[in-house]
Amino acid sequence: MAARKQAGFETAAQAAEAVGVPYGTYSGHENGSSGFRADKGELYARKFKVRFEWLMRGTGPMVEDLASKYRELLTIFDGLSEEDQKTYAGLLRRLAKPYQQKEPDQERPPAKVKSP
Domain boundaries, the chain: 2-57, 66-98
The dihedral formed by the CA atoms of 24, 25, 29 and 31, expressed in degrees to the nearest 10:
10
Average pLDDT of adjacent 10-residue blocks, the chain of 116 residues = 92 95 94 92 92 90 79 88 94 88 62 63
Residue type, 36: F
Q: What is the pLDDT of residue 112?
A: 67
Total count of residues recorded for the chain: 116
Q: Does the pTM of the predicted model rise above 0.85?
A: no
Helix (H/G/I), strand (E/B), else coil: 110: coil
In this predicted structure, what is the pLDDT of residue 113? Answer: 64
The topology under which CATH files domain 2-57 is: 434 Repressor (Amino-terminal Domain) (1.10.260)
What DSSP character marks residue 58?
-
The pLDDT value given to residue 38: 93
**Which pLDDT does position 71 carry in this prediction?**
81
**H/E segment holding residue 90:** helix 82-96
